Amino acid sequence: MDSHIYSEKMLNNLKMNLLDDNMHRYITYPKFVFLCGKAFDKDEYNDTNRGIVDRYISAKTDNLFIVLSEKLWENSFGTNIDLLTFEEFLAEVSDAIVLFVESPGSFCELGAFAYADKLFSDKLIIVIDKKYESDESFIITGPTAKAKKDGAKVIYAPLDGTGLLSCASMRNTIDRIITDFTSKSAGINKRSPNNDENAVYVNIFIIELLELIRLLEPVSRKDLLDIYKAIKNFQNFKFIKKDGNDFHNEIKYDYIIKLLETVQIINISGDIITSNGFKKVQPLMLNYSKKSHNKERNRLLCRKYRYGGFTK
């Protein structure tokens, strides 16, 4: 930690306001809907099944964030992670997964999700073309049957691009997602902060990161990560899945920043991060009321601009 940028006093003040590691809080948090299906050309996306659901959700609410692996995956990630593990990361952070079984790639996704030891089944919605409803193929009797047994929802609907939402079961399922995730009580779940650098839960990390951004913005990507580690007393940390197991490949901080930027929860200009007005950030890591949060933020900003940084 560079003491010329961050004063010990500032960091100690943040540490003093850390919530107890064992304290559970009921909070709201961003809701992500991961849409999976056949590959698409950028100009044709709106007419795909994923595009139809995306537009339907977006027209009804701006409080749900659509996740598409194609918009997040970067070639530069390839040296550190395979696409299958990357999609596992996206499934981990998402609250609902809508999988259109309509291409060889989506068949593979179905197999991966179905055999993830029930990790995703409770939020997985499998959509298969209605013409295969009475089929006894391996796709139906294998991974689809297993996922359904583990809690996934299976819908048979027209997937030819003309009548997807005319299917009552499909439309009602999407409406239920919107209602469940955007009502006043939506997303109020019991959570506790990360406290073990060898077991950092990705979903909790996102909430903690947004809390820090709201307090410190504008802040650089590196400074944000350094402050997080400093106030947690982490040297380094490792992300794990909600069941406590490791990801197949290491999940990087950059993947999470890319996710938040792509769904427009944060803005990045150069290397500087600001929030994009997401209003549901609540204290999970730091014990600040709304009034004390604003007071602390103003104090930090005054110090920052007075001294050109968080100097001693």
The tens digit of pLDDT for each residue in 211-243 reads: 889 888 889 999 999 999 988 899 999 999 988
Q: What is the pLDDT of residue 116?
A: 80
Which residues have a Cβ under 8 Å from the Cβ of 257 and sit 6 or more positions away? 221, 266, 268, 273
Residue 140 banded pLDDT, cuts 50, 70, 90: very high
Q: What is the pLDDT of residue 312?
A: 38
Q: What is the pLDDT of residue 4?
A: 41
The H-assigned helical ranges of the chain are 8-16, 49-60, 69-72, 83-93, 104-114, 138-139, 145-149, 168-182, 202-216, 221-232, 253-262, 290-307
Angle between helices 168-182 and 49-60 (to 10 degrees): 40
Decide if pLDDT at 85 tops 90: no
Residue 204: name the closest of 213, 192, 218, 222 by CA: 192
pLDDT per residue as tens digits for the range 13-47: 777 777 666 555 666 678 999 999 998 888 889 99
The predicted structure's pLDDT at residue 20: 60
Query: Does residue 122 or residue 259 have the better pLDDT?
Result: 259
Domain chopping of the chain, boundaries:
8-17+193-307, 31-182
- 211 phi/psi in degrees, rounded to 5: -65, -45
Give the pairing of strands 64-67 and 31-36: parallel
Q: Write the class of the CATH domain 31-182.
A: alpha beta
Residues 206 and 204: their CA atoms lie apart, in Å, by 5
Assess whether pLDDT exceeds 70 at residue 311.
no
Residue listed under structure tokens 């391996």: 138
